Structure 1
C-alpha cells in the first residue's frame, strides 16, 4: 500500500518539460539562427569560424580516449579471442561491401545526371593554394596505421591508430588471469565513466558551437556558389538521401528494423553531426546510447569505432560524384575501364579519411592526384562548397555506422530485440532508463537464450 506522501506525490500533475530544454532542439534552433545570421551579417559571421572550431577541438579531447576504452572493453567482454575475431571479421566484410555499393551509387548518379558538364567556371587558371594538401607520407595509408609510440596514437589525429593500439591491448587483456583481467577492466570502466562525464559537460556547449559553424559556412559560401556547383551540392544531398532510404533501409529491412524509426532514435546525435559537419561530434553520445537501446556493448565497442575508419559511406559517395564532376567539367572522357580503375583507387584511399570536418576533402585531393589524369587545380573550386556538402557526408557516415552496429549485433545474436523495439517505438523510453543497470541478456527474441554479463562501461547520464 502506498504511503500518504506517495499518494500526495502521485496526485500532483506532472510538470511538462519545455520543448526547448532538450539538447537536440537547442541545436536545431542554433542551426536556424546560424543560417539567418550568416545570410544577414556575412562580414560578422566570417569571424565565427573560431567558435565552431573550438567546440570541435573540445569534442576531440574525449573522442580518442573513449574509442580506446570502448574497443578494449568490447574485446575483453567477448571472453575469448575467437568471438571477438568473428565480430571483427563480419564487420570488415560488411564495411567493404557497403562502401563498394556507396561508390557504385555515386558513379551511377554522376553518369546518369552528367554532373559537371558545361561547368565553364572550372579552368586551369584556378590555383589550389587554398586547398588542404594531402600529406606526402612515404608508404601512404599503411604508414599511418601503426603509431611509433603509445602516446603518439592519441596525438597524431589518426583515429585508426587508436583503434589498432586498443585492439592489441584488448587481445592482451584476454590472455591475463581472470582476477587480473577483472581488476584491469574495472579500472577502465571507471576511466570511461569519467570521460563520459567530460563529454556531457562539453555537450552543453553544442548549440553555441553549432551556431558558429553554420553562420560561418553560410557567410563564406552561400552567395558565391556557381550554378554548376549548386547543382552538384543538390545532387549529392539527393544521392545521400537515396542511399539512406534505399540501401541502408534495405539492410535494416532484412534485419527486421525500420530505418525511419532508427533515424528518429538517434536524431539528437545526427542533428549535432549535421550542425558541426563532423561525425566525431556524435560518436560519444552513440557509444553511450546504443547499448541502452539493447545492443551488445561488445559489438558497439568493436564495430562503431572501427567503422569510423573503414565504413565511410558518405565519403565514398562524395569522392565518386566529385571525381566525375571534375572529369566532365574539364572534358576528360572516362569510360568503363577508367571508372573501374577509379573505383579500386577510391576503395583504398577512402579508408584514410579522417572523421573530422575536412578529412574527406584531403583524401579526395589525394585521390585526384593518384589518378594521374584529373587536374588537381580543379579541386580548389570544389573546396568552396565543401562545407555545405560536408554536413551530409558526416551525417551519412555516422548513420551508416549506426546501421552497421545494429545489424551486426543482430547477426551475432546478441541483440535485445524486445528492448530495441521498445526504443524504436518510443525513443523517450531512454529518458527513464536507469543507466546503472547491468547489460540486458541478449535473447534476440528467444527467451531461452543464456544470460550474459558485460564488463564494459555504462553511462550515468541520459542521452
Structure 2
C-alpha cells in the first residue's frame, strides 16, 4: 500500500519539484527580509498559523500511524524483540546526544568571557513562552505529544487484541489516506510559507543578532555535525548503511526540514522514500512515529549546550551529581521538543525550571539566536529518526526469526 504517491498526480509531480520551489522561496525571502523588513515582520504570522494547522494534522497521523504500526508488528514473529530493541536504541542514542552536548559545552565554553551586555540585546520573550509548567493546563500542553503517544500505544494494543481488528485497520487505513491527501494539497502553499518564514527571520534577527552569541550557535552546529557524521555514521557503518548515500536519498526532505525549521514537515514524505530503498514498511510505521517522540537527538544536543552556556555565563559551579541530574532532566524534557518551530526553546525553559540551579533572568539572550539554532536542531532530529528506522529495519531483516506470518 502506497500512502503518499508522488508519481501519478498533480500534487505528486509538484512535490517532486518541491526543492526548486523551496530554493526560489528562500532567495525571495532573503531579499524581501533585507529590503522590506516592515512587510516581512507581518509575514511572520503566515508561517506561524501554517505550522499550527500542520501540527493539528500531523498529530492525528502520528496517533494513527503508531496504532497501525503496533498492529502491523503483530504480524512479525520477533515483534517483542523489535519493541525492546527500539526502546533500547532510543535510550542509548538520546543519552549519547545529551552527553555529547555537555562535553562540547564544557570543552568549547561558549558562555565564558562573552563580554555580552544584555541591555544591548532584546530581552523580551513572545507570550507563547509564558507557560506555567506547574499548572495542570501547562503540563498538559507541554506533554501533549507524550499523552498522544501513550494513548495511541494503548489504543493500538487494545485494537490489536479486539475481535474487530481488521475493521479497525481498514478505518485507520482510510483515515491515514485522507489526512495524507489533505497534507499533500496543503504542501502546495509550502514555498509561500517558507518565503514568509525566511523573510521574517531575516527582518527580525539578521546577522547583527547572531554575532554576539555566535559561539553558542557554532557549538550547537559543531556538536550536531559530530553527532550526525560521527555517532550516527558509526551506527550506520555498524549496520552496513552507507550514510552519505542515505542522506543524499533524503536530500529533499532534509532541505524541507531546514527551510521550515521543523522535522515534522517531512514526516508524511519519509515512508515512501525509505520503502523504495528496501526498508521494511511494517517496521518503519512503528519506529518512525515513535522516534518523533523518543528520539529527538537534535533537541538533546541543543538543550545540553545551551544549559552549559548559561552555567558558564552565570559562573555557576556544579558537581558531577548535578550534571548527572541535569542529564536525567534533559532526557525527559527533550521529549516536549517535538512540535512547531520554537518548541525546542520551550523545552529549554522547562528544563531550567526543573533543574532549578540556573536562573532564567537573561534567557531571552538565547531566544535572540534560537532561530539560527532551530535548523540544526530540526535536521539532526530528522536524520536521527530516519537512521533509527533504517537500523531497526536492518536488525529485523538480519534476524533468524524474521518470517512474516
TM range (shorter): 0.7 to 0.9
C-alpha RMSD of the superposition? 2.9
Which whole-Å deviations, capped at 9, do the CAs of 1:139-179 have from their partners, x for residues lacking one? 899x64xxxxxxxxxx99823322222211221222133xx
- 1:115-153 CA distance string (max 9 Å, x none): 111223255998555461344245899x64xxxxxxxxx
Instruction: For 2:25 and 2:326, locate their aligned partners in 1 and report how far apart those are by CA, in whole Å.
Output: 39
**TM-score if structure 1 supplies the norm length?**
0.77
Of the three residues 118, 133, 136, the one matched with 2:133 is 136
Q: TM-score scaled by structure 2?
A: 0.88
Matched, 1:50 2:45: yes
Residue pair 2:101, 2:301 contacting (<8 A) in 1 also = yes
Deviating beyond 6 angstroms after TM superposition, the runs of 4 or more aligned structure 1 residues are 18-21
In structure 2, do the counterparts of structure 1 residues 313 and 331 end up closer, same or farther at CA, with 3 Å as the change threshold?
same
Shift of 1:381: 0.8
Displacement of 1:259: 1.0
Mapped to 2, the partners of 1:176 and 1:248 lie a distance apart of: 39
1:100 matched to 2:95: yes
Q: 1:163 to 1:370 in 2, by over 3 A?
A: closer
Cα distance in 1 for residues equivalent to 2:15 and 2:173: 33
2:169 counterpart of 1:172: no
More helix per residue: 2
1:163 equivalent in alignment to 2:149: yes
State which structure, 1 or 2, has the greater radius of gyration over its C-alpha atoms. Answer: 1
Cα displacement (A) at 1:362: 0.9
User: Counterparts of 1:143-292 in structure 2 under 5 Å?
Assistant: 144=140, 158-177=144-163, 180-225=164-209, 227-292=211-276
SS in 2 for 1:373: coil
Shift of 1:235: 2.2
Distance 1:298 1:135 in 2: 39
Match of 2:4 in 1: none
Shifted more, 321-330 versus 58-67: the winner is 58-67
Distance in structure 1 (CA, Å) of the matches to 2:349 and 2:85 = 31
Q: In the alignment, is the contact (CA less than 8 A) between 2:78 and 2:402 conserved in 1?
A: no
1:334-345 mapped onto 2 (5 Å cutoff): 334-345=318-329
Structure 1 CA distance, aligned partners of 2:117 and 2:95?
A: 29
Q: Relative contact order: is structure 1 or structure 2 higher (C-alpha 8 Å, sep ≥ 6)?
A: 2
Deviates more, 1:97-106 or 1:188-197: 188-197
Aligned residue for 2:316?
A: 332
Alpha-carbon shift at residue 445 of structure 1 (Å):
11
Q: Distance in 1 between matches of 2:31 and 2:323?
A: 41
Question: Structure 1 residue 383 and structure 2 residue 367: aligned?
Answer: yes
Cα pair 2:146 2:335 within 8 Å, conserved: no
Q: Does 1:315 align with 2:299?
A: yes
Return the match for 2:23 from 18, 28, 33.
Answer: 28
Q: What corresponds to 1:73 in structure 2?
A: 68
CA contact (8 A) 1:46 1:216 kept: yes
1:127–1:377 Cα change, 3 Å: farther
Deviation at residue 354 of structure 1 after TM alignment: 3.1
- SS of the aligned residue for 1:377 comes to coil
1: CA distance, partners of 2:40 / 2:175: 39
Instruction: Note if contact 1:123-1:378 (Cα within 8 Å) is conserved in structure 2.
Output: yes
Unaligned runs of 5+ in 1: 1-17, 145-154, 414-443, 454-463
Q: 1:314 to 1:302 in 2, by over 3 A?
A: same
**C-alpha contact (below 8 Å) 1:55/1:205 kept by paired residues:** no
Deviation larger for 26-35 or 115-124:
115-124
Q: CA deviation at 1:449?
A: 7.3
- 2:396 corresponds to which of 404, 412, 431: 412
Alpha-carbon separation, structure 2, partners of 1:92 and 1:241: 24
Query: Deviation per CA, 1:8-37, whole angstroms, max 9, x where unpaired?
Result: xxxxxxxxxx99971122212212322232
Check whether the contact 2:293–2:338 (CA below 8 A) recurs between aligned residues: yes
Contact 1:58-1:202 within 8 A present in 2 as well: no
1:234 to 1:129, Cα distance in 2 relative to 1, 3 A: closer
**2:9: which partner in 1?**
none
User: Are the counterparts in 1 of residues 262 and 340 from structure 2 also a CA contact under 8 Å?
Assistant: yes
Structure 1 contact 127–377 (Cα < 8 Å) conserved: no
How many correspondences in the alignment?
A: 391
